[in-house]
Amino acid sequence: MSSVSAETSEQGDVAQGSMIRALDWKGAFWIAAGVPPLVLFSIGGIAGTTGKVAFVVWTVSMLMGFLQSFTYAEMAGMFGNKSGGTSVYGATAWLRYSKLIAPLSVWCNWFAWSPVLSLGCAIAAGYILNALFPVPLAGSQPVLDWITAHAASLAADSPRVVEYLAAHPGVAATDAMQALLAQDGVAALTPAIRSWTALELPIPGLGALHFNATFLIGTALMLLIIAIQHRGVASTASAQKWLAIIVLVPLLLVGLVPILTGSIDYANVTGLVPPTSAYSGENGSWSIGGWTLVLGGLYIAAWSTYGFETAVCYTRELRDPRHDTFKAIFFSGLLCCVFFTLIPFAFQGVLGLQGMLAPGIVDGTGVAEVLGSMIGAGPVVAQLFTILMILALFLSIMTAMAGSSRTLYQGSRDGWLPKYLGHVNEQGAPTSAMWTDFAFNLFLLALASDVSGYFYVLAISNVGYIMFNFLNLNAGWIHRIDSAHLARPWKAPLWLIGLNTVLAFVNALFLGAGAKVWGYSNALISGVIFAALIIPVFCWRHYVVDKGRFPAEAMEDLGLPADGEHLGQRRAGILPYLALLLGAGIVFWANRFFVLPG
């Protein structure tokens, strides 16, 4: 497309109040480049649950994600006028079989992606607090000085000392006093903002909302990201490009340097067995309990490794969607293959299992320090890695905001979600959807402002993500049967469509067995309940607002009548329903059969 025609097209899009075709495949690639840093969100958690098998879990999950993306690439090329990503393209396949399943796919994809905003901002806020208001170390000079000044405050017969000695047999009274004074010194010298909480609000069945310093800083970060994306997709892609270069090059070095310098301890990556229990740090066996932990790791890893499918969220904004969609998702997948295999291997090889279970690795706030140590850097470079981590989180959050807001936008345009979400500003940015994302994530940010809430949000959101992937992988073969007449600029081999259909049911196995692994026995049911919330939302939009008809633009890409009533012939017969029953059966069976060790 020439620059003149492209400019004319963009002007026409603005006049119609729709998205602007201002992007090529490289722009979509750069926006999706925020996916590789997601490995840092749960690298400690997966190490805790799967032990020495962790790096294999990441590799297997990434391979599955890459294979599955070819089904998604085919569907993306079929719908050049739609935004919102592969969940939207796959949802159209289910439309003929149930009006409720199509919006369910879109909803599940959105509430899986959207929490990246709150989770990423929670970690970034932790880094900022550590940089500006650090918690002193027990052996630091200020704490030692405090101990000297307050040494007389404890005696050998003090109740606290007696209690400590009872809990730690064999410890001398002087050592007990020193340990207690060190705790007191750290507490006394810790900045008050680190423990400040304006309000703590319990939510039955979910946990507690914490309105604290993490919440306030995270809110400010989300507002900054909205300001950047308010200027449109081209501006977002430009910002993402430079952020990606700054972040991914050093991260790549962290993965390569230990291998090239011989810093990998191969005892850490051999003798692969699951742990005796989650976070035990002790080698277990390949029992049912061990397999349950590994399946739990594959379950949560999918949230990160499959994420590059967001590269096709911007089809409506591509200048040449017929050719750019495949390139965007394929090269994004190759990029993720490098990082999701290299980084976990290097981390585990250098740190070992015990090192991976350090609190700062598990909650993400200590990753920067470890990144610096892995390449033998000094304290100055370690501080630079702290800045790098904040930028990496920004990169991931920008990707999530861009993709999830477009999913809401297209869901509105296709008649599945409330109408107001279909609004765009003069730059073609889906601002109503962006502000809805922001409001939803304010709630999640308050929930994720402590470590337990962080992983609960992750576990629940991933229920939706696995459900979306199951529906979408099956959508590939349904489209082959029902929409064979639609042009496919890139067509996946038939054997790969078949393999990815099998992987859909493998994902169902992960969901049934793995959701319970993260310490939340009700994560699966909570995720299903949240997924079901789309039913009243859709029914209001479709039956009350739209009087039972879908918008004309939702039908035109399927080659169906614009009246929005006739959804086309169900050539696949009962097969889609059988797939749903089999998937639900696998989830139920896996949830009962696989149990945690001990």
pLDDT at 96 (0 to 100): 86
Does 117 have pLDDT greater than 80? yes
562 band by pLDDT with thresholds 50, 70 and 90 = low
Q: Cβ-count burial of 376 within 10 angstroms (0-12 exposed, 13-18 middle, 19+ buried)?
A: exposed
| Residue 31 pLDDT grade (very low, low, confident, very high; cuts 50, 70, 90) | confident
Pairwise CA distance, residues 550 & 416, whole Å? 8
For residues 97 and 568, the model is more confident at 97
Q: Assign 207 a pLDDT band (cuts: 50, 70, 90).
A: confident
pLDDT band with cut points at 50, 70 and 90 for residue 452: low
What is the sign of the dihedral through the CA atoms of 373, 378, 382 and 388?
negative
In the predicted structure, residue 471 carries a pLDDT above the cut 80: yes
Q: Under a CB-based contact definition with an 8 Å cutoff, are residues 127 and 368 in contact?
A: yes
What per-residue confidence (pLDDT) applies to 498?
A: 96
68-77, 157-166, 449-458: segment of lowest average pLDDT: 449-458
Percentage of the chain beyond pLDDT 90 is: 30
pLDDT for the residue numbered 323: 82
Nearest to 116 by CA among 225, 199, 11, 27: 225
Q: Give the start-to-end residue ranges of the domains of the chain.
A: 25-135+193-593, 142-189
Whole-number pLDDT of residue 17 = 52
SS3 29: helix
Instruction: Specify whether the CB–CB gap between 388 and 246 falls below 8 A.
Output: yes
Query: What is the pLDDT of the chain when averaged over all its residues?
Result: 85
Give the number of other Cβ atoms within 10 Å of residue 282's Cβ.
Answer: 11
Tell me: pLDDT of 2 over 60: no
Work out whether strand 197-203 and strand 207-212 pair parallel, antiparallel, or are unpaired. Answer: antiparallel
- Nearest by Cα to 38 from 345, 336, 359: 336
The 3-class SS string of 419-488 reads HHHHCCCCCCCCHHHHHHHHHHHHHHHHHCCCHHHHHHHHHHHHHHHHHHHHHHHHHHHHHHHHCCCCCC
Task: Give the three-state DSSP class for 279.
Answer: coil
Confidence of residue 463 (pLDDT cuts 50, 70, 90): very high
Residue bearing the bigger pLDDT, 210 or 506: 506
**Residue 135 gets which letter from DSSP?**
P
Q: Is the pLDDT of residue 490 over 80?
A: yes
- Round to whole Å and give the CA distance between 264 and 420: 53
* 340 pLDDT above the threshold of 50: yes
User: Which tokens in the block code for residue 62?
Assistant: 């990434």
| Residue 565's pLDDT band (cuts 50, 70, 90) | low
pLDDT (0 to 100) of residue 558:
67
DSSP 572: T
Q: Which residue has the tokens 């959701």?
A: 515
pLDDT of 16 over the 60 cut: no
Q: Is the pLDDT of residue 468 over 50?
A: yes
The per-residue pLDDT for 591 is 93
Which residues pair with residue 207 across a beta bridge?
203
Burial class (CB in 10 A: 0-12, 13-18, 19+), 60: middle
Q: What is the reported pLDDT for 1? A: 36
Class at the top of the CATH hierarchy for domain 25-135+193-593: mainly alpha
* 185-189, 386-390, 431-435: the lowest-pLDDT one: 386-390
Please name the residue ranges forming H helices in 169-315. 173-189, 213-229, 233-260, 288-305
Q: Are 68 and 497 in contact (CB under 8 A)?
A: no
Q: Per-residue pLDDT averaged across 355-374, rounded?
A: 75
Position of tokens 């940015």? 429
pLDDT for the residue 137? 80
Instruction: Please tell me the predicted confidence (pLDDT) of residue 549.
Output: 86
Residue 378: predicted pLDDT: 63
Tell me 137's DSSP state: P
For residues 250 and 590, the model is more confident at 590
The model's pLDDT over 570-583, given as tens digits with 9 standing for 90+, comes to 899 999 999 999 99
Q: Which of 317, 337, 334, 164 is nearest to 233 (CA)?
A: 317
User: Which of 95 and 567 is assigned the larger pLDDT?
Assistant: 95
Question: pLDDT at residue 102 above 70?
Answer: yes
Secondary structure (H, E, C), 362-424: HCCCCHHHHHHHHCCCCHHHHHHHHHHHHHHHHHHHHHHHHHHHHHHHHHHHCCCCCHHHHCC
**For residues 416 and 453, what is the distance between their CA atoms, to the nearest angstrom?**
30
Structure confidence at residue 376 as a pLDDT band (50, 70, 90): low
pLDDT tens per residue across span 270-301: 999 999 998 888 899 999 999 999 999 999 89
Of 17-26, 75-84, 347-356, 520-529, which gets the smallest average pLDDT?
A: 17-26
pLDDT value of residue 88: 85
| Residue 301 pLDDT | 92
Q: Comparing 3-17, 148-162, 392-406, which segment has the lowest mean pLDDT?
A: 3-17
Going by C-alpha positions, the residue among 496, 469, 463 that lies closest to residue 480 is: 496
In this prediction the pTM is 0.85
Confidence at residue 239, expressed as pLDDT on a 0 to 100 scale: 81
Which residue's entry shows tokens 């000695």?
A: 165
- The most confident of 74-88, 365-379, 480-494, by mean pLDDT: 480-494
Q: Provide Rg for the chain, Cα atoms.
A: 25
Q: Which residues, in sequence order, are bridge partners of residue 283?
A: 275
How does residue 10 score in pLDDT terms, banded at 50, 70 and 90? very low
Q: Which of 344, 448, 429, 407 is nearest to 116 (CA)?
A: 448
pLDDT at 497: 96
CA distance 401 to 113: 8
Angle between helices 54-78 and 321-356 (to 10 degrees): 170
User: Is the pLDDT reported for residue 222 higher than 50?
Assistant: yes
Partners of 212 in the beta sheet? Answer: 197
